[in-house]
Chains A and B, each alone.
Chain A
Amino acid sequence: MKRDEALDMVKESLAEVVPDADVTALGPDDKFREALEIDSLDFLSFIEILGRRTGFRIEDEDTAHLTTLADSADFLVARTADGS
């Protein structure tokens, strides 16, 4: 997966969880849980949606890598390395 694809996937997943949030205003290193007021239930849906979009399973332990747009995209790229 290319990084910009990964980034789009993260943004789309966030937008699906918080439909009224302006994801475009989010900086790459902003902590999105705080910026978008995402609670743990929302975050769980985010993980589900992201997992569905990418086709791989995100474990509880992986969630430490999913705090900003930048680290989430890096995580997805690393996870799908060699896939394309």
Chain B
Amino acid sequence: MAEFTMPSLGADMDEGTLQEWLVRAGDRVRKGDAVAVVETAKSTIEVECFETGTVGKLLVDPGTTVPVGAALALIEPAGEPGAPKEREKPDKPKKRRRGDEARPEEREAQERRPAAQPAPGPAKEPVPAPAGVNDGVRGDEGPLIRHLAEQAGVDLDAVHGSGPGKRVTRADVERAAAARRLPARITPLARRLAGELGVDLSGVTGTGRDGAVRAADVRQAAPGPTAPAEQESSGAAAASPSAERRPAGMREAIAGLMARANREIPHYYLSTTVDLTAAMDWMHEYNRHCPPGARLLPAALLLKAAARAAREVPALNGFWTDDGFSAGRGVHLGVAVSLRGGGLVAPALHDADTLELPQLMAGLKDLVHRARTGRLRGSEVSDATITVTNLGDQGVESVLGVIYPPQVALVGFGRVVERPWAVDGLLGVRPVVTATLSADHRATDGAVGARYLTAVDRFLQSPEEI
């Protein structure tokens, strides 16, 4: 059994509060699946697991605050013998398949499931059965039923058996399959909205004529601003750091980290002004030909240039630890996002150097939205290899930032402003931006930093190629 532990979601985190489990004991999980929601001083984060297997026991109850590294759950890696096959459903009487008991023959069942089917060892992880669970143990379903269920994508464990001994019958499977199927009628607007809001239409009940799913039904089903509160178990809500307390906690966390960065990291600073005429012309032209929702902002071009330059100058893209510099695997661009009501997070835009601009723009929107609604993922919070801060929206022209440890560089962009600019001996007015670099002198010297900013400039001169 592997332990799933409270992760370190940034150099400034020593403990976290488990707010909510997204899995139950017995659930199968894959590496990268979000399994729990953890609240830190700075934000609420969905934490992914690093194992593929089956969730064994949940060791920590929602609402509990534990130090980084503490075990939260046990995960049975895939392939290990004895992995439990069934899901525990604490809110429902547990259904068990038992192949070793004689059951009345079922009409649809052509043959009985072989008794050799590995059954979960009753001695292993005995699950306390809720009252009433034994008033009818469900029988085993024949291969026909299992085949039908598999074809229809129906989870037999979730089906209420109406046959003798609570056995699942063919009719039960068909009913469940029908319930799972997409509603017969979905208005075009509803279908479009479902795509935009990420709503799975198979679970939506239509209130329109002939049961048609309409926009209102989709909006109802969408995870709105009130939904997370509803999902939260009452225990977690009571024990988690309250919303009012978070700003203070966040301030404290930022204070600690920035003080450490300034104390430990010998910063050097470089600055250059970049002519954005080509970039802005290209962007406006691009925007004229695309739907409003797909427009680009200057920030997307600046981030892309920063990411490409980081790939070109890998000495600035990585971490400084006690042993020295280690280059980051991929360019995961930390994007500083200021939160309403104060505070700052810098989640990572993964592999930003490889994203096409429309993808990068979409990723940026999504990241900022989730940063502000408290639904960042653990990997986003901890993976950044270099951070970009863009204070242009705040109206300033340049920003000389403090590096986010253990990273070794921070790139700053100011506001895009129109300035007199000499080109080929003539003076013109051009949109320009001041790009700055704060870098860790332990890891690199000024010449490396200069190469970086020159690369940023070069990329911004050929926007169609970045």
Contacts and interface: CB of A to CB of B under 8 A. Distances in A.
Any A–B CB pair closer than 8 Å: yes
Interface of A: 18-20, 37, 39-41, 44, 47-48, 51-52, 57-61
Contacts of B295: 44, 47, 60
Nearest to A61: B284
A19 B225 contact: yes
Interface stretch (B49-57, B285-293, B312-320, B431-439): B285-293
B392 A58 contact: no
B304 to A, nearest CB: 15
Contact of B292 (A37, A41, A57, A61): A57
Contacts of B393: 39-40
B292 A40 contact: no
Contacts of A59: 287-288
Contact of A48 (B283, B288, B292, B338): B292
Interface in B289-310: 292-293, 295, 297-299
Provide the main secondary structure of the chain B interface: helix
Interface of B: 225, 283-284, 287-288, 292-293, 295, 297-299, 338, 340, 364-365, 368, 392-393
B8 to A, nearest CB: 29
A67 to B, nearest CB: 13
Given A40-B392, A41-B297, A20 B340 contact: yes
A58 B225 CA distance: 28
A56 to B, nearest CB: 10
A19 B364 CA distance: 20
A41 B287 contact: no
8 tightest CB-CB pairs across the interface, nearest first?
A39-B393, A48-B292, A51-B292, A60-B284, A40-B297, A40-B393, A60-B287, A41-B368
Contacts of A19: 225
A64 to B, nearest CB: 12
Contacts of A51: 292
A71 B72 CA distance: 55
B399 to A, nearest CB: 14
A39 B368 CA distance: 11
A60 B283 CA distance: 10
Given A39-B393, A41-B368, 15 more contacts: A39-B338, A40-B298, A40-B299, A40-B393, A41-B299, A41-B365, A44-B297, A44-B365, A47-B295, A48-B292, A58-B292, A59-B287, A60-B287, A60-B288, A61-B284
Nearest to B280: A60
A16 to B, nearest CB: 12
A37 to B, nearest CB: 6
Given A19-B225, A20-B340, A48-B293, A41 B288 contact: no
14 contacts: A18-B340, A20-B340, A39-B338, A40-B297, A40-B298, A40-B392, A44-B295, A44-B365, A47-B295, A51-B292, A57-B292, A59-B287, A60-B288, A61-B284
Contacts of B340: 18, 20, 37
Contacts of B298: 40
A19 to B, nearest CB: 7
